[in-house]
Amino acid sequence: MAKPKTLAEHLECHEVSRRGFLKFCTLTTSILALPPSMIPTVARALEKARRPSVIWLSFQECTGCTESLTRSHSPTLENLIFNYLSLDYHHTLQAASGEAAEQARAAAMADNYGQYLVAVDGSIPVKDGGVYSTIAGISNLEMLKQTVEGAAAVIAIGSCAAFGGLPHAHPNPTGAVPVQELVHDKPVVNVSGCPPIPVVISGVLAHYLTFGRIPDLDGYGRPLSFFGTSIHDRCYRRPFYNKGLFAETFDDEGAKNGWCLFKLGCKGPTSYNACATAKWNQGTSFPIQSGHGCIGCSEPHFWDAGGFYQPLSAGIGGVGTLAGVAVVAGAAAGTAAGLVHHAKRKQAQRQHEKVTVADLKETGS
Ligand code: FSX
């Protein structure tokens, strides 16, 4: 078998221009939240990188995660990155079907043993031996076990794979569980969201490609660089929140003036994701910008928690009887414990940034 090529060699074979490569490096640097001065260093690191093989497994899900990824338009990072990876198996996107598809999975596992990445979307049914979802004659449970065995790391894409999601919601008739309940001997990255933001999926892959390791994670196993701050922290409606200006219904003057949606059930203060900064549809908008509160789809148990249109808590800083900024500031953090938690996340994020820059210096020497 031919020795795997470095990215630089692969690009040369495929006649990708230097300009195209540097564009990719610029996007990667930006998505990794590194300063523009790091672009040459990222370029040096990527030139030497080897294209990782990615095996993508889809289990109990609605295909929204793949839909999300494919909603990107050229020339975005999402499109570029698939030139920089070897996506060897993906039920929805691959041309092969039936036995040929399964042969592709087997070949990718054998050829890249110990080095390939497994991306999983959807949860895994384990009740009654996993009979409730099968592919190619084997249960999802068996396919996950087989495929993960020789993997370097696993990326759980979407809230179903990360936390169980909709299939896991009460009464969970198939006994659906997330990847992290079944995989204990490999690193697992949770890219939650229902669906997850495409640039977050590609950002995690870009991080692995650049540094050869998974990114630093929060307490729920999510990459800190995308899940390190709450939606509320980055929300452009935050100044209205701080002033105590809230929409009370979806069609009142407050709503028309773009005031805060907290009283309409927005879960931004307790939801961690990059929607307010990365946004959707090539940075066009995100739910809050479109007039609907955040439903917290990237947090565990969000389906069972429900209450999409109920304020987080009537007592959370006394928003019902607003007396001024100080009161609302209390709601911003939720509780003193929330503030401590938030500070810890910030500290971890700063640490992460230091580590990634240091790693790059090493890799790109
Ligand atoms: Fe789940 Fe994804 Fe929601 Fe759907 O693959 S996270 S139901 S968007 O499709 O798994």
Cα 61 to ligand 1 centre (Å): 5
Instruction: Decide the pairing of beta strands 124-125 and 176-177.
Output: antiparallel
User: Does ligand 1 come within 6 angstroms of the Cβ of 159?
Assistant: yes
* Residue whose token pair is 């790693």: 359
Contact in structure between 200 and 278 (CB atoms under 8 Å): yes
To test the ligand 1 pocket, which listed residue (135, 194, 297, 301) has its Cβ within 8 A of the most ligand atoms?
A: 194
Contact in structure between 181 and 330 (CB atoms under 8 Å): no
pLDDT of 233? 96
Atom of ligand 1 nearest to the CA of 193: 6
User: Does ligand 1 come within 6 angstroms of the Cβ of 169?
Assistant: no
User: Does ligand 1 come within 6 angstroms of the Cβ of 289?
Assistant: no
pLDDT of 180? 98
H or E element that contains 116: strand 116-121
Query: Digits of tens for pLDDT over the chain (365 positions)?
Result: 565 578 888 878 878 888 888 888 888 888 787 899 999 998 998 888 888 999 999 999 999 999 888 776 545 666 667 778 888 999 888 889 999 999 999 999 999 999 999 999 999 999 999 999 999 999 999 999 999 999 999 999 999 999 999 999 999 999 999 999 999 999 999 999 999 998 888 889 889 988 999 999 999 999 999 999 999 999 999 999 999 999 999 999 999 999 999 999 999 999 999 999 989 988 899 999 999 999 999 999 999 998 899 999 744 444 433 333 333 333 333 333 334 444 544 454 444 344 444 555 444 43
User: Does ligand 1 come within 6 angstroms of the Cβ of 121?
Assistant: yes
Cα 40 to ligand 1 centre (Å): 36
Atom of ligand 1 nearest to the CA of 63: 9
- Whose C-alpha lies nearest to ligand 1, atom 2? 65
Cα 311 to ligand 1 centre (Å): 25
User: Does ligand 1 come within 6 angstroms of the Cβ of 167?
Assistant: no
pLDDT of 12? 81
Instruction: Return the structure tokens found at 34.
Output: 């590194």
Cα 321 to ligand 1 centre (Å): 38
Residues 6+ apart with CB under 8 A from 3: none
- Given strand 188-191, what is the order of strands in its sheet? 86-90, 53-58, 116-121, 151-157, 188-191
